[in-house]
Structure 1
Amino acid sequence: MTERAKLNFYDRVLRPDPSRTVVRPFEPSYPEGFDGGTSRTQETVDLTVALDEAELARQLKGVTLSLDENHRDVDAMLLRRFDEVAGRIEGADRINAEQRRLIGAYCSEEYAYEAAALFNPSAVLHPDQSGLPEGTIRFVMSLRGIGEGHVSSVTFRTGTWTPGGELVVDDPSPTAVPPLIETCEKGGDVAVRLCCAGSRTISEIVLFPVLPSQRQGIEDMRLVRFCDDDGSIIYHGTYTAFSGAEVLSELLSSTDFRSFEMRVLTGKAAIGKGMALFPRRIAGNYAMLGRQDNKNIWLHVSDDILHWEGGAKIIAPRFPWEFVQMGNCGSPIEIAEGWLVIVHGVGTVRNYCIGACLLDKNDPLKLLARTPRPVLAPSPHERDGYVPNVVYSCGAIVQGRTMFLPYAVADSFTAFATASIDNLLSVME
């Protein structure tokens, strides 16, 4: 029997923290089909402006005391929220600053975005690699946080890693800052711009659902550091937008992890989960891995990063641990031998395991080799959680001849491992 790849594990784990909260928009509404005569927001506004000065001051003091512990610039945040809803309020121009702040509070909610789970990580090189010892890299890692209502958001961590040496995951800030949200048109496509300039560190950024397509969550972001043919660098993240009824693939883009754009992917290949962009063009075109049939891994090429059609099936289940279905565990990684693709396979009792394969560098339609046994499988002490019997990743980093693999356990928390590229290739067939 073929040997399994040898992994080295770190003791460091990331677990969900219900104390980490973000203030996000909230507006109550009547049930569909019920006519209340006016909006519930307007009714709340009318009650607020009717308060006498003393009661208004008491309510504002309570709001400030409640939010000041975990949030900065509370007054400005509440005024900004009022401005976002002012267009739907009668007589908004006659409302004073104190009333505006309290109305902003009534139209907001404090949300514990990683209270239930913190998992499905994806790691890329940090834009800033300065001031590091030789051989050490700094990384940015996205994670899927789950909070109330099983709604998924994206949060970030940073850290440093030395192949064969130390892993440091920076402690996150206790503060999370909601992004400024702006909808715009770009080249005929609707884009959402998210400005996170108020965040002092990347760990303060939280991307929560802002579009109807994302109402139930932004899931499983696969980050990639994309180098275009002109040498320019941009970070893309493909993710699953879940409305509660439909699944769509969407794209997040940023050059600096300070401002982002969200855009919808179109085409028949973009209706499924788990799309992963190659880190550069191939023969002048963008390339993407997908799984639109929910079973096999497909390759797609396009001259438009937002539109994906057709495709060709390149990897199908072959070994028992992947008989049910397969998918990628992040964007392909370019190594000397070809494109290294970390994959997941689903087997008996819906066990999710992690494996790997190698695609031809010039023609990724060609599968060169794959691991016949899982590289990583749920272990006895890591099986239990929100979804048992699952290990999963959304993106690894290769530095030199070593792979850094952050991975999720039981859809609950995040752990870390490394693997030798030479050893990984040696167990493929």
Structure 2
Amino acid sequence: MTHATFLNRQALYLRPDPARVVVRPFKPATEPRDLLPKEKTRANHIVDRVLSLEPEAAASQLIDVLENFDGRHRNLLKTFEFRCDEMEEAFDPHVEFTRIQRQLIGAYFLHEYSFEAAALFNPSIVPHPDPSGAPEGSKRFILSLRAVGEGHISSLTFRSGSIDSNGTVTIDPTVRLASVPRVTERVAIPDGEAVTLVFPPELDISERLIFPVTPSQSNGIEDARFVLFEDEGRKTHYATYTAYSGSAIRSELIETADFLTFRMMRLRGTAARNKGMALFPRKIDGRYAMIARQDNENLYLIYSDDLLSWDGGVALLQPRFPWEFVQIGNCGSPIELDEGWLLLTHGVGAVRKYSIGAVLLDKKDPSKVIARSSEPLIRPEPSEREGYVPNVVYTCGAMRHGEHLVLPYAVSDTFSAFANIKIDDLLRGMGD
């Protein structure tokens, strides 16, 4: 029996929607370095032009802007004022702006960004922090997704839904509007800073978008692997992700208890210099544990005493089967079963074809491999081979519900789909 005979693909797809936009800061092009002290910057030219408008003309222009963009965003006037406040230091000394002038000036330093115009992929799935409202036998969840827009900038977006007793997934309706959080705190930590982001509680989960907020993330927050972590009765959702600056990558960590307030921190150590780290859902022998791939080819088991420092590691898995000869990596955090730790993996084979497999690790000593799938659970079907990056199926995390493993996965770095598999069938199909 092959995995394909007991894997159930669901006719449910999450595709990128270019109509979903947020307003982002617009910054005029860099000024010449030889700009004389008395010469005005482009920003001040814009301000001067706004201030030259008669009060009635300024009010009319602001009304025109609102008519064009209201209904596409929440609290536009407040957003305009906040942006003007951010730009204040860049403006020449000036008379005090009227409220209409402040709002109109703020509008000129913003632009719309279609954050998932290109792709919506690499999902991970975790239990919802508020399980209420789920039908009997069902379980609520939150899905994280990597959204890609103009300039190939990756951000983090969310959906909610439920899984029924048969492992069938339902996604809640998506709100068309979207918003970025406020940065409420920046705290210096070794080799970086910790940033706290807060969303208003009235926002639907699908409205919340985490866009890059630090230089290390400036070109993308990629492939978040969320996990519900439990320690001495306290439950916290963590996610490891790849921060991409445009020239360098590193692994970072998100922490949240409610998906409204998020804390983002840099990970340190030799193992954090690469991508694809995945945290175990609890401590093992009193220490934090991760699966990582610091050499671009093999998987390692690493431990830490403080959650942020990750060095060394024990070689765990090497490419073994033809569908993973190029490299292997993890596909999300290990899932605890009675039989051991179930770890989903990805393998890269000939013509850079990506597939998803599975490994079972010893529960007490995860460095011991109990079983391993010789064939992929999921490989690109003929209908799943076309997209931004052809021949790729990939996931950043699955979730157990009863006897089922629910597996959201990305198709060709373009859109996301869903499958489920009975855990007993999966374990029986794995060899030594």
TM-score range, shorter chain: over 0.9
Partner of 1:424: 426
Residues 43 and 198 of structure 1, relative CA distance in 2, 3 Å threshold: farther
RMSD, aligned α-carbons: 1.7
1:253 aligns with 2:287: no
1:13 aligns with 2:13: yes
* Partner SS, residue 13 of structure 2: coil
Work out the percentage of aligned pairs sharing the same amino acid. 49
TM-score, normalised by the number of residues in structure 2: 0.95
| 1:373 aligned residue (372, 375, 388) | 375
* Partner SS, residue 56 of structure 1: helix
Partner of 1:116: 118
String of CA shifts for 1:173-231, please: whole Å, max 9, x gaps.
11111211134226666211111116521100001111111111111111111111x21
Partner of 1:141: 143
Q: Is the 8 A contact 1:141 1:158 kept in 2?
A: yes
The one-letter code sitting in structure 2 at the alignment partner of 1:18 is P
Aligned 1:393-408 pairs, distance under 5 A: 393-408=395-410
1:4 aligns with 2:7: no
String of CA shifts for 1:348-404, please: whole Å, max 9, x gaps.
000000000011111111111110000000001111001000000001001122100
Alpha-carbon distance between aligned partners in 1 of 2:130 and 2:362, rounded to the nearest angstrom: 31
Partner of 2:184: 182
* Partner SS, residue 238 of structure 2: strand
Q: Which moved more, 1:90-99 or 1:60-69?
A: 90-99
Q: Is the 8 A contact 1:56 1:98 kept in 2?
A: yes
Q: Is the 8 A contact 1:268 1:308 kept in 2?
A: yes
Q: What stretches of structure 1 of length at least 5 have no aligned partner?
A: none
TM-score, normalised by the number of residues in structure 1: 0.95
1:211 aligns with 2:214: yes
* Partner SS, residue 227 of structure 2: strand
Residues 92 and 392 of structure 1, relative CA distance in 2, 3 Å threshold: farther
The one-letter code sitting in structure 2 at the alignment partner of 1:289 is I
Alpha-carbon distance between aligned partners in 2 of 1:4 and 1:253, rounded to the nearest angstrom: 35
**Shift of residue 50 of structure 1?**
2.5
The one-letter code sitting in structure 1 at the alignment partner of 2:57 is E
**Shift of residue 75 of structure 1?**
0.7
Alpha-carbon distance between aligned partners in 1 of 2:264 and 2:416, rounded to the nearest angstrom: 25
Partner of 1:288: 290
Residues 239 and 232 of structure 1, relative CA distance in 2, 3 Å threshold: same
Alpha-carbon distance between aligned partners in 2 of 1:35 and 1:211, rounded to the nearest angstrom: 28
| 1:384 aligned residue (386, 389, 398) | 386
Partner of 1:160: 162
Alpha-carbon distance between aligned partners in 1 of 2:430 and 2:32, rounded to the nearest angstrom: 56
Q: How many residues matched?
A: 427
The one-letter code sitting in structure 1 at the alignment partner of 2:198 is C
String of CA shifts for 1:317-362, please: whole Å, max 9, x gaps.
0000000000011111111111100110000000000000011111
Partner of 1:341: 343
The one-letter code sitting in structure 2 at the alignment partner of 1:23 is V
Q: What stretches of structure 2 of length at least 5 have no aligned partner?
A: none
Alpha-carbon distance between aligned partners in 2 of 1:169 and 1:321, rounded to the nearest angstrom: 32
Residues 57 and 198 of structure 1, relative CA distance in 2, 3 Å threshold: farther
Alpha-carbon distance between aligned partners in 2 of 1:77 and 1:160, rounded to the nearest angstrom: 34
1:224 aligns with 2:223: no
Partner of 1:194: 197
String of CA shifts for 1:103-131, please: whole Å, max 9, x gaps.
21122111100011111100000001123
Partner of 2:30: 30
